[in-house]
Chain A
């Protein structure tokens, strides 16, 4: 049973922490729970949909690459802050190749022949296109990927670029 915690916080910046098994079916279940709770449930429709895309890509990457399909735990922490949704994803799987995040360059080019059309390699492009402040670190045998997503909702102010300090500590 996934562990769902709503930290005791200022109600204006509701946060959420969820630890799940890294496999596609658990990821789907986790997304459903995350999307139906604050802070994600507060987001406007399009932002919510795109946040789900980024989280799905990140979590499925952990399942497929960090754990190589053999399973393992992955923790997601979300926190709303100044019109942004801060996200931190931590796993204990293999580090990213070369200690770097993939560049996310789209596979192929224009006017590809049918047989050359890419069937994969879209994930990091979507993550990089839809997120901000993307940071990867390997700390104490764990992968820590943090990023921010646009989080406009009906009651939220607009994003001010000078006010985007990270809300996550190193712990």
Chain B
């Protein structure tokens, strides 16, 4: 599970470099996310533009990361591909996360916040 992290003044961006977050990798994803977001700005954007496939285990791991970050930090998402977007919508998790169309939009919004 490869994640590419960049820390900016007001936001830390994490780009998932894999094409899937599934039952085989969900635990690893959660642990790596915990490591890369341990320090840094309160706002975390997880970019999923490369992720073509997300199952319920992967979705559960993303929710778990949001909870790990605690009440004083926030996890936002960007670049959901069509199948992934549908999984969020069907489980109503689209109402739990702020979802940006792209990482660029998410970062720009964070910078102007």
Interface residues of A (CB under 8 A from B): 24-25, 27-28, 45-46, 49-50, 52-53, 56-57, 60, 63-64, 106, 110, 112, 114-115, 117-123, 125-126, 129-130
Check if A118 sits within 8 Å of B63, measured CB to CB.
Answer: yes
Give every chain B residue within 8 A of A118 (Cβ-Cβ): 60, 63
- Nearest opposing residue in chain B for A107, CB measure: B91
Give every chain A residue within 8 A of B53 (Cβ-Cβ): 49, 52-53, 56
* Assembled-state Cα–Cα distance A38/B6 (Å): 41
Sample (13) of A-B pairs whose CB atoms are under 8 Å apart = A27-B24, A28-B23, A49-B52, A50-B83, A50-B86, A60-B57, A114-B71, A117-B67, A118-B60, A119-B60, A119-B63, A120-B56, A126-B56
Interface residues of B (CB under 8 A from A): 20, 22-24, 52-53, 55-57, 59-61, 63-64, 66-67, 70-71, 82-83, 86-87, 90-93, 95-96
* Distance to closest chain B CB from A89 (angstroms): 15
Give every chain B residue within 8 A of A52 (Cβ-Cβ): 53, 83
Give every chain A residue within 8 A of B24 (Cβ-Cβ): 24-25, 27-28
* Assembled-state Cα–Cα distance A138/B109 (Å): 54
Check if A49 sits within 8 Å of B91, measured CB to CB.
Answer: no
* Distance to closest chain A CB from B61 (angstroms): 8
A25, A110, A115, A119, most chain B CB atoms within 10 A:
A119
Check if B55 sits within 8 Å of A117, measured CB to CB.
Answer: no
- Nearest opposing residue in chain B for A127, CB measure: B56
* Distance to closest chain B CB from A102 (angstroms): 12
